[in-house]
Amino acid sequence: MIRKLLATTLVGMGLALMPLAPALAQATPEAFVAKISAEVLDAVKADPALQSGNIQKIIELVDAKVMPSVNFEVMTRSAVGPQWRHATAEQRAKLQAEFKSLLVRVYSGALTEIKDQTVQITKTLPVPQSTQVVVQSEVRGKGEPIKLDYRLDKYSDVWKIIDVNVGGIWLVTSYRSQFAPELGKGGIDGLISTLAERNKAAAAGKS
Amino acid sequence: MRSALRATLAATALALAAGCASVPGAPADSAVPMTGSVPVNPVDPWERWNRKVFAFNEAIDEAVVEPVARAWRDHVPQMLRTGVSNFFGNIADIWSTANHFLQGKVGSGMEMGMRVLTNTLFGLGGILDPATEMRMPRRSEDFGQTLGVWGLPAGPYVVLPLLGPSSVRDAVGVPLDRYAEAPSVYLDLNVYASSALQLVSVRAELLATTRLVGEVALDKYSFVRDAYLARRRDLVFDGAPPLETFQDDFEDDPPPAKAN
């Protein structure tokens, strides 16, 4: 019930943000990535609640700054793999909602590490035989620089993030191999319930 | 030729893996399907054994290492912790520098060498890290990476007792890395005390990360394994491994609308 509401809200927000999209269309992939990273870094530096890992605040930040630049359906679809074809619309919405909660947690872990870092875009590589590009950047701070890459694709002339690589690890790829055994065991519904359980446990552990 | 080399290395590494050589001998006959439906993963043919070692390591970590690291984080002032971490980091940078050169990366090797000199001379023997401020960031390299750059394949995934995730190739580098990154090699320090402090210092920096992995992984073992292998591959390619294709050919058959 709540989940459905959440899904609807997400769709609503997606629609609300649509008019902004064309403005980004002309941007180069580098500019697009630079803009998002700058916005997120600034937001986190300005708000101690975000640094301390306040999940509610982080969800707000993600919804406002990150989700509009992400094609989350593609991310979820790719992580789920071939079984996605057999998932109903409702199952797809649930998968996306649960996967999003999980990723928000990953993201919050990253945000709590932000202090005085800067992001430097190092390179953009076109992906052969596709409209995709990979924008590579480096987060520089006190410790060793952390590599942060984005895989982007064009959807009706707008760049969207479809995968992120932190320190050499592609997020969607990692979750594809996490999801596979669950899908093998319990199918789409099995995966949904495992994800839901995991999110619930994590939420309980946090408070 | 290559496979002969690989086999020799595998044998060596397993012998090194602290007396567990007798058990992982099994994977040779991995034609015997493993428990139930779990297919044998080509990168992790010794999964069954590895999972046991992983569980063992987790238990030790939970019982001893993590609590100590937590106490270290919570009760020792940040300045002191940073100093300790910088000190060990600076010693490790010496070995990184050597590995840059071993990999033929003269430019970054010189830079790392400058970094060590700067931190040693102007950073109170490595306790401070002025080099990072002077735009000489740490670029770590270890011997496993060097072997990778030399063309040695990673080989199967191995979880080493106490030392954690590794591959056959990286396991070959580990003893050398451990040796060269220990301050007692360069300074007159008690080996055990300094190793213990080093372990606690490193573990304390990973507290948040390991907790997060526990929260976001569906299967912690395979999550850590895949992350380790991807990360190492990336490091061997210095952050520019060949791009993998993004698998997404499952789209847009509209969902079977509530059939049956």
| B258 lies in some domain | no
Domain count, chain B: 1
Rounded CA gap, B207 and B174, in Å?
Answer: 22
B64: distance to nearest CA of chain A, Å? 21
Q: Kindly determine whether residue B245 and residue A127, on different chains, have CB atoms separated by under 8 Å.
A: yes
pLDDT for residue A26: 57
What is the pLDDT confidence band of residue B227, given thresholds at 50, 70 and 90?
very high
Whether B40 contacts B33, CB under 8 Å: yes
Rounded CA gap, B98 and B82, in Å?
Answer: 24
E strand or H helix at B199, and its extent? Answer: helix B191-205
Rounded CA gap, A99 and A196, in Å?
Answer: 9
What is the pLDDT confidence band of residue B8, given thresholds at 50, 70 and 90?
very low
Question: Is pLDDT above 90 for B149?
Answer: yes
Q: Kindly determine whether residue A84 and residue B209, on different chains, have CB atoms separated by under 8 Å.
A: no
| B228 lies in some domain | yes
E strand or H helix at B5, and its extent? Answer: helix B2-16
Rounded CA gap, A104 and A64, in Å?
Answer: 13
> Which among A185, A25, A85 is positioned nearest to B249, based on CA atoms?
A85
Mutation target for B interface from A174, A183, A188, A199: give the one with most B CBs within 10 A.
Answer: A174
Q: Is the ipTM reported for this complex over the cut 0.85?
A: no
| B198 lies in some domain | yes
pLDDT in tens, chain A (207 residues): 555 555 655 555 555 544 444 454 557 999 999 998 888 888 888 888 888 888 888 889 989 988 999 999 999 999 999 999 999 999 999 999 999 999 988 888 878 877 788 888 988 999 888 889 999 998 888 778 888 899 999 998 899 999 999 888 999 999 999 999 999 999 999 999 999 999 998 888 754
| B205 lies in some domain | yes
Per-state percent for chain B, helix, strand, coil, to nearest 5: 60, 5, 35
A93: distance to nearest CA of chain B, Å? 11
Question: Is pLDDT above 50 for B11?
Answer: no
Pairing type for strands B157-160 and B164-167 reads antiparallel
User: Tokens 């919405």 correspond to what residue?
Assistant: A93
Average pLDDT estimate for B127-145: 93
User: Tokens 């073992």 correspond to what residue?
Assistant: B221
pLDDT for residue B136: 92
Determine the distance from the C-alpha atom of residue A49 to the mean position of all C-alpha atoms in its chain, rounded to a whole number.
20
Question: Is pLDDT above 80 for B23?
Answer: no
| B60 lies in some domain | yes
Q: How far is CA A45 from CA A34, A51, A118, A135, in A?
A: 16, 8, 11, 23
Q: Kindly determine whether residue A162 and residue B248, on different chains, have CB atoms separated by under 8 Å.
A: yes
pLDDT for residue B240: 82
End-to-end CA distance of chain A: 23
| B163 lies in some domain | yes
Alpha helices in A156-170 (DSSP H): none
Average pLDDT estimate for B207-223: 89
Range of the domain at B142: 2-8+50-236
Which tokens belong to B85?
Answer: 């971490």
Any CB–CB contact under 8 A between B42 and chain A?
A: no
| B168 lies in some domain | yes
Stated pTM of the model: 0.80
Of A78, A112, A168, the CB nearest to B233: A168
| B200 lies in some domain | yes
> What type of residue is A107?
Y
Whether B96 contacts B135, CB under 8 Å: no
Chain B environment of A136 (Cβ under 8 Å): 239-240
